Structure 1
Amino acid sequence: MAVLQIVLLFCVGSSIAEDLFSPNVNIITELEKLKNMEERIQKLENENEALKTLLQESQIKIEHFQKDNEVNKIAFSAGLMASGQGQTGPINSEEILVYKKVFSNIGNAYDSNTGIFTAPVKGVYYFRFYGHCHGGTTMAISLQKNGVTQCSVFAWKPTSNGNGSNGVVLTLEPGDKMYTKLWRNTWTYDDPASYTSFSGFLIFPL
């Protein structure tokens, strides 16, 4: 009987030892799985960092685009008289016309106190101006770029009301100044209908 008990204890001990040293789970396989999982996690972290960098670069580009877009919105249009009616001139010298009735001034490049448009950016611009006079008078207005005449309108003592209009496309550098001048000994007329006006806008930057 004692011998049988010893045999049974030996068998049970062998079984336990086998379970301890030869488990059902393959440790090497599980370690490989953990390693693969760590590699996947690291890859995801790298991709996440790359995505963050891409988003930051995209945000910077959007901000720059918005800023450039705002800078490139340049346009103005103004009539000579803010209210009422009357003539300007004649005087014995040329006179810069100051257009007080501002219809639009996007970009604030036109100064209604001086009548001067100052180019904020290098680009190609379009300008147009109109002049009006009554019968028997002479009207002559020139568009000036930094004091140099670009084009003009002229009406010499028409039998009835006279009108003139001209326009030009110019390349301007930042700081270039555009304005119109009334010739000496001539005059122009304006009223709430804004017969005499000055307009310009940026076509595209350079």
Structure 2
Amino acid sequence: MVKTATAVLSALLLCAWGALAQEFVSASLNIIEELEKLKNMEQRLRTVEERLHSRSHIEKKLQKENEALKTTVEMMQATLESLQSVNEARQVAFSASLFASGSGYIGPFRSVEAALIYRKVSANFGNGYNNETGIFTAPLKGVYYFRFYAHCHTGNQMAVSLYKNDKVQCSVFSERPWTNGNASNGIVLILEKGDQIYTKLWDKSWVYDDHESYTSFGGFLLFPL
């Protein structure tokens, strides 16, 4: 009888331990699953962080490239503006005739001091010519071409010279022609910026002009130096 009770008790204890062991194993399995989930979440977090880091790196790189492009555009704009300014400075040409309206003559004078003033301006690119003084002032150093025409009537002396600063460069002359007289001359000159070009009558000479613009003065820049 005692042996039987002992056997039953042993069986009950084995069952209890078995149940506890099952619960422990089951709990262990749950813990392992949770740990695996945590590892998966950790891996996903790392992936997200790596992507964010990569995106941040790309954004910084794009920002630097954008700043570089902006600087390049600004430099190109400044260069284009400079080239435009230089191109505009090279556009030098003028043409003018003696009278803005009406007809008549200028001269003769016993002593000629001032330049002939050509009032009727048909072109003045670069604003080098001044129709208040009759003087062209070179806006930049370069090689220029100038020409001038003069007209006179029968029996009157006509003589005009072209000056660079205060020195004669070329002239036209007609000594009391039998009919109306015309003369012209031209010259290529090297000018420094600020050099002045103008024409002057000779003493005791005169020129005529009317709406046909017989007497005129003009010039233009061939190329800068």
1:81 aligns with 2:109: no
Q: In the alignment, what sits opposite 1:93?
A: 111
2:204 is aligned with what amino acid? N
Q: CA deviation at 1:27?
A: 6.4
Partners in 1 of 2:201 and 2:32 — Cα distance?
118
Q: CA deviation at 1:26?
A: 6.5
TM-score, normalised to structure 1, is: 0.89
1:48 aligns with 2:60: no
Bigger shift: residues 191-200 or 85-94: 85-94
Q: In the alignment, what sits opposite 2:218?
A: 199
Q: CA deviation at 1:11?
A: 1.8
2:206 to 187, 190, 202: 187
Q: In the alignment, what sits opposite 2:180?
A: 161
SS of the residue corresponding to residue 217 of structure 2 reads strand
Q: CA deviation at 1:24?
A: 8.5
SS of the residue corresponding to residue 124 of structure 1 reads strand
Q: Report the count of equivalent residues.
A: 206
CA RMSD of aligned residues (A): 2.2
Deviations 1:22-65 (A, max 9, x none): 55847666655555444333322221121111111111112212
SS of the residue corresponding to residue 7 of structure 1 reads helix
Q: In the alignment, what sits opposite 2:156?
A: 137
Partners in 1 of 2:198 and 2:85 — Cα distance?
27
Query: Which structure features the higher share of helix residues?
Result: 2
SS of the residue corresponding to residue 13 of structure 1 reads helix
Q: In the alignment, what sits opposite 2:167?
A: 148
SS of the residue corresponding to residue 8 of structure 1 reads helix
Structure 1 vs Structure 2: percent identity of aligned residues? 51
Deviations 1:169-191 (A, max 9, x none): 11111211110011111111111
Query: Which structure features the higher share of strand residues?
Result: 1
2:83 is aligned with what amino acid? F
Partners in 1 of 2:197 and 2:126 — Cα distance?
15
Q: In the alignment, what sits opposite 1:172?
A: 191
Structure of higher CA gyration radius? 2
Q: CA deviation at 1:106?
A: 2.1
SS of the residue corresponding to residue 105 of structure 2 reads strand
TM-score, normalised to structure 2, is: 0.82
Q: In the alignment, what sits opposite 1:127?
A: 146
SS of the residue corresponding to residue 83 of structure 1 reads coil
Residue ranges of structure 1 left out of the alignment (5+ in a row): none
1:61 is aligned with what amino acid? T
